[in-house]
Amino acid sequence: MMKIINGKSISENVLEECRIDVENLKEQGVKPGLAVVLVGNDPASKAYVGSKVRTCIKLGLHSLKIELPESTSQEELLKVIDQLNNDSEIHGILVQSPPPNHIDESAVVLAIDPAKDVDGFHPENVAKLALEDPSGFVPCTPLGCQRLLAEYSIDTNGANVVIVGRSMIVGKPLALLLMAKGPLGNATVTVAHSRTKGLEKICKEADILIAAVGRPKFLSREHVKEGAVVIDVGINRVDDNSSNKGYRLVGDVDFEGVAEICSAITPVPGGVGPMTIAMLISNTIKACRNSLSD
């Protein structure tokens, strides 16, 4: 029987755990705080920021939303980050990606205090992930994928995992996470990208196939081995006049075709997406807890 991996419902369980953690921390006299910085007017970024802020408020975290105009200079943005680094009520800082073209994203990431880097993009946290040092922050989307596999008892130990996509946000950290030593890792990981030769054949070897490409319905049933588990990280907006928004969201996987042959698959929306926000809140709580022992 093919299973639909219900990320929405798992994320609600994670958020309920987070709500209890927030209450306990408040009893200890500290309220976890997340600052989300948005530069410019990208509609998708605005929507992501809105849902992060709403989730914080719902769970009782301190939430600070800083919206800066498109024209904000690099220097001004770095000043804002510096203030947040020194704000004792803020435990997590996130600058919504992508920033406008004139902003150097890597300089922004470097400016964030690694102890508040709940996105896990700072080189110190990237190194900790590679070194399998659990004190660091792991990027939220890979963490969410790993949690989904764990919640559905999908064993990664010795499994052939193929990840299509090598970004620093999804593909690369997810590869590190799933190949790490430990019960939620120990996979044999292959990472494919735009220069990969024979993609179809490589994907067909996968026990667990993960798509993080950014192209609607890029992977079809020809890429999937019968009985494989398919995790679709992609979120693509495609025009749809029948929707009142004028678009709908589709993943990187042709869901209908692939669902007929795989053993389990994440839908889009309602798969990996909600897990990303849940892991962001979980990382913010971790940052807050760490601040207590400083």
By CB under 6 A, residue 139 contacts ligand NDP: no
Query: Binding to ligand NDP (CB under 6 A): which residues in 232-291?
Result: 233-236, 252, 272-273, 276
CA angle 190, 95, 61 (to 5 degrees): 105
Q: How far is CA 274 from the centre of its chain?
A: 9
By CB under 6 A, residue 114 contacts ligand NDP: no
Q: Which residue is nearest to ligand NDP (CB)?
A: 167
Q: Is residue 78 helix, strand or coil?
A: helix
By CB under 6 A, residue 37 contacts ligand NDP: no
By CB under 6 A, residue 54 contacts ligand NDP: no
State the alpha helices, DSSP H only, in 103-216.
105-111, 123-130, 140-151, 171-179, 199-204
By CB under 6 A, residue 174 contacts ligand NDP: no
- Given 77, 84, 178, 213, the residue binding ligand NDP (CB under 6 A): 213
Q: How far is the CB of 88 from ligand NDP (least distance, A)?
A: 29
Strand segments (E) across 153-289: 160-164, 188-192, 208-211, 229-232, 236-239, 247-250, 264-265
- Name the residue with tokens 């510096």: 82
By CB under 6 A, residue 167 contacts ligand NDP: yes
Q: How far is the CB of 252 from ligand NDP (least distance, A)?
A: 6
By CB under 6 A, residue 55 contacts ligand NDP: no
Amino acid, single-letter form, for residue 53: V
- Considering the candidates 21, 117, 119, 252, report the single residue annotated as catalytic: 119
Whether 119 is a known active-site residue: answer: yes
Q: How far is CA 207 from the centre of its chain?
A: 22
Q: How far is the CB of 73 from ligand NDP (least distance, A)?
A: 25
Q: Is residue 153 helix, strand or coil?
A: coil
Interface with ligand NDP (CB under 6 A): 141, 164-167, 169-171, 192-196, 199, 212-215, 233-236, 252, 272-273, 276
